Amino acid sequence: MQGLKIAVIVMSVLIVAGVAVIGVTIARRVYVAPGPLAEMLLDEPAGTHIVAVSGPPQQLLVQLQGGGPDRVVMVDMRDGKIAGRLSLKH
């Protein structure tokens, strides 16, 4: 009987610790600002201007007009590199 009590206590502590780790991981992913970007330069033609900025947590979608066809540039927030481009052909 004593062994059963010890096993239940140990398993309860492990469950509480596991839930705490999951809670901390979720909090970090939700509340910590993503990416090391402090300043970024998009190499776009003269006359280009930003129309809108949006995106999921790990990406930045920048809608651009002027300097060519309208386009959307996808930037990876983790390393600041351009992950893709979507252009409208005229």
Per-residue model confidence (pLDDT) at position 34 = 56
- Give me the residue spans of the domains in the chain: 1-32, 38-90
Q: Would you mind telling me the total number of residues written for the chain in this entry?
A: 90
Q: What are phi and psi of 39, to 5 degrees?
A: -150, 140
The two structure tokens encoding residue 82: 């351009």
Look at the block and give the residue holding tokens 């947590």. Answer: 57
pTM of the predicted model as reported, rounded to 2 decimal places: 0.54
CA distance 65 to 46: 11
Task: Walk along the chain (90 residues) and give the pLDDT tens digit of each residue.
Answer: 899 999 999 999 999 999 999 999 998 877 766 555 567 778 888 889 899 888 777 788 899 998 888 899 998 887 778 888 888 776
* Residues paired with residue 86 on neighbouring β-strands, in sequence order: 72
CA distance 67 to 53: 18
